[in-house]
Structure 1
Amino acid sequence: MVAVAEEPAKARRLVRRRRANVTGGRQHSHRVMVTPEEEALLLQRAEEHRVTVPRLLIESALAPTGETPTERRNAVVELFAVHRLLAGIANNVNQMAKAMNATGEVQAEMVATLRAVRRVAERIDDAVDRLGQS
């Protein structure tokens, strides 16, 4: 069985609030003045994405498709978490099937459920592959 409590801890290890260092450092800086209301919104959004405000501003401004690298990474992390959870569920369903097999009675609902779990897992795998290619 998958321990659901472990999922957020694993996901946090993949998250980096600041951008990675670059050789030679960053040569330019910009100063942006905001109202208290704008600051509150920026802080809220940065916290939602678990990044710093400067990283949020840069990624938002430079994202070619409207999707920031942080949003994309978070989507991939979530897909992997869902995949692990689904694998745990499939394992539990398989254990139920084994118990039913011990009695000699295999129910049609169990077979259909196992097929559905497999189809969903394959769809998640395909989605992760597509995210990695684009």
Structure 2
Amino acid sequence: MADKEPKGRMFSRRRRANVEGGRQRKHEVWVSDVEEGVLQRLASAQHVTVPRFLVEAALSSEARETPTQRREMMVELIRLHRTLGAMANNVNQMAKATNAGSDLPAELHSTVSRLREIAEQVDGVLDGMHS
């Protein structure tokens, strides 16, 4: 979109910038009084008109996840969080045994390796939420 502000303009535009050739398509949307109030409040908070708010919100949503995708990612993060909690407990037990004079537990290396894998999975889920 060509929403660049003209040079020297102190404040941002409420309306979208003009585009060469004009805009050839129009969409009409009917809303209830309650919906209108919400739209007015949201647009006002961003210092834009309702039409600009609607267009920008709709077009920006293309890059975001759907509510279903977001819910799936949250379920995966909760699962990974629980796994990390259980593994942290295991590491604490190994550290306590080592501090009490025992040898380094053999499973420590595999546990730490698994912790790294889970951390990478968390990064993957978070990357998916922001891509």
Fold shared, TM-score > 0.5 on shorter chain: no
Give the TM-score normalised by the residue count of structure 1: 0.44
Q: Which has the larger radius of gyration?
A: 2
TM-score by length of 2: 0.45
More helix per residue: 1
Larger relative contact order (CA 8 Å, sep ≥ 6)? 1
